Chain A
Amino acid sequence: MDILNLIDDIQTADPEFADRISPRRAAIKNITSFGSKVAVAALPFAFGTLFKKAYGQTTTPSVADVLNFALTAELIEATFYNTAVARATAGTLLIPANDLAAIKLIQADENNHVTFLRNVLTSANESAANKARTTTALPVGTFSTSYDFSGNAKGTVPGAGPFSAVFSNYDIFLAVSQAFEDTGVRAYKGQAGFLKGRQVELTAALNIHSVEARHAAYIRRLRATRAGAPANFRSWVTGDGTTASGITVTSQATAATNPIYANEAITAQAGVELSGIAGSKAATEAFDEPLTTADALNILLNFVK
């Protein structure tokens, strides 16, 4: 890779490039002296970040922004599980007795995450959208004006999404649950950098992140042990697309869930190709990738308005 030539090329195309990145002249200087930095291994990543800063979003999200984003995700998850458990109690969603304890523990975790984040965010810092959302279980047969767990929140007909049987078919419920948990894992990971060095906030976010990963793995395990499960379906994420999701109910469902696993098939980390160690499949599985705020929101907006 020839970063310096690339910078020249960009400057030819965009004479203002240097001005765009002028506050980061030190970073550019670093690139030229990268030969003496261990960070060479992370060069593609470092440059990508610089590029994004020059042309993309220029402000770093505040801690409140990060927590509000997390709260949005947790509110969706808490409401989802509150509804599922209510439906199970009512007998309209048949959750096997052996699985119910785990589902209820996940429910408790997600509600606790909501409470935790609300406690951290003072009322003044909580976004209006999140204030308007509740975690009340949805009544049978309805998809509320805030949440549409059928996945049709972007559409006009409530409940008409690819997962319309989410609260009556246990396998569909597990698939949507996995979708939320895997999205949560990737979304928190994408926020961690914004909290760098903040012992309290970052550690709390990481401590939620790993719990979401435990949820995701357990839900995936429950799916793997169901009749008709995809072959070799695992608690970790293999590759991308339907290989990663194991969700193939309809093409509409696949279209909704594939973005959750975008970029998960990569086999190199920080410029180090890892597929030669134990195969490319294991190399994709050994690392979970982050999602940007925008990509995570785009996924979640199938389920929340």
Chain B
Amino acid sequence: MKTTTQENFLEGQAMARRSFLRFAGASAVMAGVLTTTACSKLDEDIDTSSTQYYNLGTGDIAVLNYAYALEQLEAAFYTQVVATPYAGISSEELGLLTEVRDHEVIHREFFKKALATNAIPALVPNFASINFSNRAAVLGAAKTFEDLGVAAYNGAGYLIQDVNYLTLAGKIVSVEARHAALIRNLLGLNFADSTVVDLSNGLEKSMTPAQVLPLANSFIATGYTLSATGLGS
């Protein structure tokens, strides 16, 4: 899905992106390492129902692209939510969801700029399973995305080798957790339950990339789905 709202955001970024491009060439060494693994677009005549269309590769760039992919999904989801609000949405809820959309778009654009030439392409989401006109369906999907995002960041943190990237991931994951708690509040739920937190020790149930990607792929259009065999199992 590509919406006009997304494009407007991008147009507004022409200046900032240009200034960032000064650094883009700096990625040459990393890119060299990655050309064989990241963005390995397979032949067009392969079975596009395969879940391994893009392999994210290995190392920090793979982890950052993993985060970038999840942020793309979240940003696209909330962009759609705000563009076509569910029936009977209150002005307060529309305002809150618009702010969440802004955060997710910022996360997406941040990764896009930081990854520069190492970034995976724009994904095409598949939200066919979500009824955007129904409040419970939309907030339920939002809960799924936020909980999945938190579990994914937590589960991938140890794979990060550069401490600056680790801190950056930490700066984002707590905002995702804040979203998750708010969405749950809007649904009349507590901030967490046994599906996301191990109630015996109070720890979030983190998930590995291998656990996350099948769930994320269910929201990605055929032909754009991801694999991350280089990020462990």
**What DSSP secondary structure best describes chain B's contact surface?**
helix
Q: Which of A115, A215, A217, A290 has the most CB of B within 10 A?
A: A217
Given A192-B166, A269-B168, A277-B12, decide whether A37 and B178 contact each other with a Cβ distance below 8 A: no
CB–CB B190/A105 < 8 A? yes
Given A213-B174, A272-B113, decide whether A207 and B99 contact each other with a Cβ distance below 8 A: no
A282 to B100, CA, bound (A): 9
CB–CB A192/B154 < 8 A? no
CB–CB B29/A37 < 8 A? yes
A206 to B16, CA, bound (A): 31
Residues 8-38 (chain B) with a chain A CB within 8 angstroms: 9, 12-13, 15-16, 19-20, 23, 25-30
Residues of B near A202 (CB, < 8 A) are 157-158
CB–CB A236/B157 < 8 A? no
CB–CB A207/B168 < 8 A? no
Residues 107-166 (chain B) with a chain A CB within 8 angstroms: 107, 109-110, 113-114, 116, 118, 150, 153-155, 157-158, 160-166
Quote the shortest CB–CB distance from B32 to chain A (angstroms): 10
CB–CB A210/B26 < 8 A? no
A112 to B198, CA, bound (A): 10
Residues of B near A197 (CB, < 8 A) are 158, 160-161
Interface size, A (range)? 35 or more
A283 at the interface (CB under 8 A from B): yes
B206 at the interface (CB under 8 A from A): yes
A273 to B12, CA, bound (A): 13
CB–CB B202/A278 < 8 A? no
A265 to B96, CA, bound (A): 20
Quote the shortest CB–CB distance from B204 to chain A (angstroms): 4
A295 at the interface (CB under 8 A from B): no
Q: Which residue of B has the minimal Cβ distance to A199?
A: B158
CB–CB B9/A278 < 8 A? yes
A198 at the interface (CB under 8 A from B): yes
Q: Out of A115, A193, A207, A220, name the residue touching B167 (CB < 8 Å).
A: A193
A214 at the interface (CB under 8 A from B): yes
CB–CB A209/B182 < 8 A? no
CB–CB A285/B99 < 8 A? yes
State which of A39-47, A132-140, A159-167 sits at the interface with chain B. Answer: A39-47
Q: Out of A207, A214, A218, A269, name the residue touching B171 (CB < 8 Å).
A: A269
A279 to B162, CA, bound (A): 29
CB–CB A211/B192 < 8 A? yes
CB–CB A112/B191 < 8 A? no
Question: Please, could you name 25 A-B residue pairs with CB atoms under 8 Å apart, sorted by A?
Answer: A36-B26, A37-B30, A38-B27, A42-B162, A105-B191, A192-B166, A197-B161, A206-B204, A206-B206, A210-B177, A210-B204, A211-B203, A213-B181, A217-B181, A218-B185, A236-B175, A274-B106, A277-B13, A278-B103, A279-B102, A282-B102, A285-B99, A286-B102, A286-B103, A290-B171
A243 to B117, CA, bound (A): 37
CB–CB A39/B162 < 8 A? yes
CB–CB A273/B173 < 8 A? no
Residues of A near B173 (CB, < 8 A) are 206, 209-210, 213
CB–CB A109/B167 < 8 A? no
CB–CB A211/B204 < 8 A? yes
Given A207-B206, A221-B185, decide whether A269 and B110 contact each other with a Cβ distance below 8 A: yes
Quote the shortest CB–CB distance from A4 to chain B (angstroms): 16
7 closest A-B pairs by CB: A112-B202, A213-B177, A217-B181, A278-B102, A217-B178, A109-B202, A213-B174
Q: Out of A204, A270, A279, name the residue touching B168 (CB < 8 Å).
A: A270
B105 at the interface (CB under 8 A from A): yes
A215 to B155, CA, bound (A): 20
Residues 198-224 (chain B) with a chain A CB within 8 angstroms: 199-206
Q: Out of B26, B164, B182, name the residue touching A45 (CB < 8 Å).
A: B164
CB–CB A41/B177 < 8 A? no
B231 at the interface (CB under 8 A from A): no
A83 to B130, CA, bound (A): 44
CB–CB B181/A36 < 8 A? no
CB–CB A203/B158 < 8 A? yes
CB–CB A209/B174 < 8 A? yes
Q: Out of B102, B118, B150, B161, name the residue touching A38 (CB < 8 Å).
A: B118
A105 to B118, CA, bound (A): 42
Residues of B near A204 (CB, < 8 A) are 203
CB–CB B167/A290 < 8 A? yes
Residues of B near A41 (CB, < 8 A) are 20, 23, 26, 114
Residues of B near A211 (CB, < 8 A) are 177, 192, 197, 202-204
Q: A35-B26, A277-B109 are in contact. List 6 more A-B contacts (CB 8 A).
A: A49-B164, A189-B174, A196-B160, A203-B155, A235-B179, A285-B99
